[in-house]
């Protein structure tokens, strides 16, 4: 723990970064590999704490997972090969692990208990426990299944037609994973389109999924087959360098191997709209997940309004976009982003509080925030509040601060980007 002194007043950032593996895709590669038949080899797997929580949960469910060089090798035994865990499954800080795992366990005829850290204990779970219970899984948890610890006894489930109240890939994926094991057809209809990595994974592992606008359907009783997965770099990790390159003077950064799935590229659209000097070189238009290199140079920025269907396409990037907006001329409004309140922290509160400490002009609204730029950022003692994306956003903010900045709870960053500080220093 303790305080970590951040580098401030940086003159320029220059160079290339090979962006670490996508967190959403890394989780899914292990989960699908575990329930598929035969071996799955994953390259580019993100060795962050969250994805390692997924690996340890599946090991407890009897799946052999090896770590060889830069590969994860998963010895899948099919849905029926999963075993009742002898002990509690601990998901750590990972919302994706617990919500998707609940979907898998909903179809398994055994009992499991799930817990996580203190942040997980505050995050809403009825968004998955209710629809999974309506499919026939027996689930309980604190406050009628809203909070961990959760217990589940799955098996004998039937398909549902579910209209999700929020655009959430975790909710959609959880129900689809249950649906693959259920009797009949399962359909999820979302209010806006969320990331589609699960749909792509189902196809990659030989399964079938139908998409029609905002509706996604799977038939039950599908057997999946092990495959090789190449995980692209995480655009949500690249985002910290996209913003750093835009706001630090005299900068030019190329981010290599970034996943460019259109359900994730909202940050690029917003940065371009704000006037950022970005160029994209698509290197792989692969049908699984598109990939490319992105170059960002120091940019003159103007404020914008961000809301509606754009929100799910950049939900995890809103903390770093808030920082970007402090360096844009005029007002930036972020709206329709209530979901920020139920992330690893309440990200409306943590972003507004921490950026205000650094003298930004930012205020919270009920569904987002309003930022006035351009501000000179000063310095002070800030905290990640145990939230990896808040910690990295603050480290990027410090680069343009003209006084000292120290960061509390820096270690949270290893959830999604263990080598973040080493990569940042390479550019200085
Ligand atoms: C994720 C979906 C998003 C995102 C999270 C990862 C996923 O959450 O914020 O970091 O891998 O499905 P929601 O689905 O709850 O919006």
**CATH code where residue 71 lies:** 3.65.10.10
Q: Which of 165, 197, 230 is the C-terminal boundary of a domain?
A: 230
Residues assigned a catalytic role: 316
Ligand 1 pocket mutation, candidates 21, 22, 24, criterion most atoms within 8 A of CB: 24
Last residue of a domain, one of 230, 264, 286: 230
Most distant CA atoms of the chain, gap in Å: 62
The Cα-based distances of 136 to 26, 89, 112, 127, 244 in angstroms read 29, 21, 16, 15, 48
Are 265 and 220 in a shared domain?
no
- The verdict on 103 and 115 lying in the same domain is yes
How many CB atoms neighbour CB 389 within 10 A?
28
Q: Same structural domain for residues 236 and 200? A: no
Q: Mutation test of ligand 1: which of 53, 169, 236, 320 has the most ligand atoms closer than 8 Å to its C-beta?
A: 169
pLDDT at 386: 97
Tell me the binding residues for 3-phosphoshikimate.
23-24, 28, 168, 170, 316, 343
Same domain, 256 and 399: yes
Domain boundary, last residue among 186, 210, 230:
230
Same domain, yes or no, for 164 and 57? yes
129 alpha carbon – ligand 1 mean position (Å): 16
One domain, residues 109 and 176:
yes
- Alpha carbon distance 66, 60 (integer Å): 14
Overall domain count for the chain: 2
Cβ of 169 below 6 Å from ligand 1 = yes
pLDDT at residue 284, as a whole number: 82
Q: Are residues 120 and 194 in the same domain?
A: yes
Question: Is there an atom of ligand 1 within 6 Å of 170 CB?
Answer: yes
Same domain, yes or no: 189 and 259: no
Query: Cα–Cα distance between 175 and 188 in angstroms, integer?
Result: 7
* pLDDT the model gives residue 1: 64
> Which ligand 1 atom minimizes the distance to the CA of 166?
16
Together in a domain, 406 and 334: yes
Nearest of 302, 355, 357 to residue 333 by alpha carbon: 302
96 lines ligand 1 (CB under 6 A): yes
| Domain of residue 369, residue span | 3-21+232-427
Are 207 and 328 in the same domain?
no
Q: Is residue 317 within 6 Å of ligand 1 at its C-beta?
A: no
Q: Is 332 in the pocket of ligand 1 (CB under 6 A)?
A: no
pLDDT at residue 286, rounded to an integer: 73
First-to-final CA distance of the chain: 25
Same domain? For 157 and 251 the reply is: no
**What's the rounded Cα separation, in Å, for the pair 175 and 199?**
12
For each successive 10 residues of the chain (428 residues), what is the average pLDDT?
91 97 98 98 97 98 91 97 98 98 98 98 98 98 97 98 98 98 98 98 98 98 97 98 98 97 98 98 87 98 98 98 98 98 98 98 98 97 98 98 98 97 98
Backbone angles phi, psi at 404, to 5 degrees: -65, 145
Output the CA 222–ligand 1 centroid distance in Å. 25
Distance CA 92, CA 415 (A): 9
Question: Helix, strand, or coil here: 20?
Answer: coil
On the CB side of 76, CA atoms within 13 Å amount to 24
What is the structure's pLDDT at 55? 98
């Amino acid at each position: 723990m303790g305080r970590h002194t951040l580098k401030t007043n940086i003159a320029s950032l220059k160079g290339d970064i090979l962006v670490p593996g996508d967190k959403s895709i890394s989780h899914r590669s292990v989960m699908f590999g575990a329930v598929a038949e035969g071996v799955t080899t994953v390259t580019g797997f993100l060795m962050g704490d969250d994805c390692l929580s997924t690996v340890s949960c599946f090991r407890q469910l009897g799946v052999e997972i090896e770590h060889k060089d830069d590969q994860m090798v998963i010895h899948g035994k099919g849905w029926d090969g999963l075993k009742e865990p002898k002990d509690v499954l601990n998901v750590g800080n990972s919302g994706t692990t617990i919500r998707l795992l609940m979907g898998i366990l909903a179809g398994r005829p055994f009992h499991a208990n799930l817990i996580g850290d203190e942040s997980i204990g505050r995050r809403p779970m009825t968004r998955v426990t209710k629809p999974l219970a309506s499919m026939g899984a027996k689930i309980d948890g604190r406050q009628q299944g809203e909070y961990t610890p959760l217990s589940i006894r799955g098996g004998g489930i039937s398909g549902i037609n579910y209209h999700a109240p929020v655009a959430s890939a975790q909710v959609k994926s959880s129900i689809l994973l249950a649906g693959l094991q259920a009797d009949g057809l399962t359909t999820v209809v979302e209010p806006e389109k969320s990331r589609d990595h699960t749909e792509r994974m189902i196809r990659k592992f030989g399964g079938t999924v139908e998409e029609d606008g905002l509706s996604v359907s799977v038939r039950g009783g599908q057997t999946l087959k092990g495959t090789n997965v190449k995980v692209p770099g995480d655009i949500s990790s690249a985002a910290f360098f996209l913003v750093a390159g835009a706001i630090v003077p005299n900068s030019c950064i190329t981010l290599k191997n970034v996943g460019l799935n259109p359900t994730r590229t909202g940050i690029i659209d917003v940065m371009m709209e704000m006037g950022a000097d970005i160029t994209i070189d698509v290197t792989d238009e692969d049908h699984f997940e598109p990939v490319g290199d992105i170059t960002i140079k120091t940019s003159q920025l103007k404020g914008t309004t961000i809301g509606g269907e754009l929100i799910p396409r950049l939900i995890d990037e809103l903390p770093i976009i808030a920082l970007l907006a402090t360096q844009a001329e005029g007002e930036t409004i972020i709206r329709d982003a209530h979901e920020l309140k139920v992330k690893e922290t309440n990200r409306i509160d943590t972003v507004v509080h921490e950026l205000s400490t650094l003298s930004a002009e930012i205020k919270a609204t009920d569904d987002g925030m309003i930022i006035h730029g351009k501000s000179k950022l000063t310095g002070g003692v800030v905290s990640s509040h145990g939230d990896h994306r808040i910690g990295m956003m603050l480290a990027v903010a410090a680069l343009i601060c003209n006084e000292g900045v120290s960061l509390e709870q820096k270690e949270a960053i290893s959830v999604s980007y263990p080598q973040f500080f080493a990569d940042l220093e390479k550019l200085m």
